[in-house]
Structure 1
Amino acid sequence: MPAAAAIKVMVVDDQTSMRAMIRRSLQDIGFKDIRDRPAASEALSAVRSDRVHLIISDYNMPEMDGLQFLEAVRGDPVIGKTVFIMLTGSADREIVQRAAALGVNNYIVKPFAPAALKEKIERVFGELT
């Protein structure tokens, strides 16, 4: 059982309010090391220079969307195995299927409850302490 406090997280969403809400939810679960970026391109360079264990990324972002970000992460030999959870405002089957084909670890449809976020993270990491 990993300790949530030991897991480094990068939250990527172009909406400041959504990043703050996700950060609060993660802190309530017990995460301590939470970074965030408003754009996937910024997050990509940040995680390349300072690796994280978990990326939680929105799908719908300008410039580089969540699927393009996921593809860039999976294509990188250093960070390619990083756990990636996609947030989406719709349960669009095509987006979910494309994310699965690219190797997403899990996805969450917004809006979501903090308990749902914890459950999705635990499906990948195992029960958190």
Structure 2
Amino acid sequence: MPAASALSVLIVDDQLTMRSLVRSGLNQIGVMNTREAGDGEEAVQSLVRRPAHLVITDYNMPKLDGLGLLRAIRTYEPIRNTAVIMLTGRADPELVQRAAQFGVNNYLVKPFTVATLRGKIEDVFGALT
């Protein structure tokens, strides 16, 4: 039962408004230790410098998409156990299957509610306190 305040989260999305919505939702459930990246390449650099407990990443992004980011995380030993939740407007079975092959921890489909966000995080970490 981790404390929400103890989690560090990297939010990755090329749209500033979506990053803001995710950050706001996280803040509402008590997760205050957040930082952001605008694409997968920026996220990898950020994680190498300072690992996070959780990455919430969009699927569609320039430079390095969400699947590429997921693969990079899973193949780089120092961060390979980082939890990853894929945030997407596309819940098609092929994408879900490919992300599962690369070790995604959970999925969050846009649009989402704060309760859904909390539930997806709790599915990965257990009940938040």
Same fold (TM over 0.5): yes
Q: What's the secondary structure of 1:85's corresponding residue?
A: strand
Q: CA RMSD in A?
A: 0.5
| TM-score normalised according to structure 1 size | 0.98
Q: Find the counterpart in structure 2 of residue 63 from structure 1.
A: 63
Give the C-alpha shift of residue 40 in structure 1: 0.9
> What CA distance in whole angstroms lies between the structure 2 residues aligned with 1:88 and 1:53?
20
* Percentage identity across paired residues of the two chains: 52
1:1-129 equivalent positions in 2, closer than 5 A = 1-129=1-129
Aligned residues: 129
Distance apart, 1:39 and its partner CA: 1.1
Code of the aligned partner of 1:27: N
Structure 2 alignment gaps of length 5 or more = none
Q: Distance in 1 between matches of 2:95 and 2:112?
A: 18
Q: How far apart, CA to CA, are the structure 1 residues paired with 2:53 and 2:91?
A: 25
Report the 3-state secondary structure (helix = DSSP H, G, I; strand = E; otherwise coil) of the residue aligned with 2:118. helix
For 1:10 and 1:104, locate their aligned partners in 2 and report how far apart those are by CA, in whole Å.
15
Give TM-score scaled by structure 2 length.
Answer: 0.98
How far did 1:65 drift?
A: 0.6
**Shift, 1:32, TM fit:** 1.3
Letter aligned with residue 114 of structure 2: P
Runs of 4+ in 1 over 2 A off after TM superposition: none
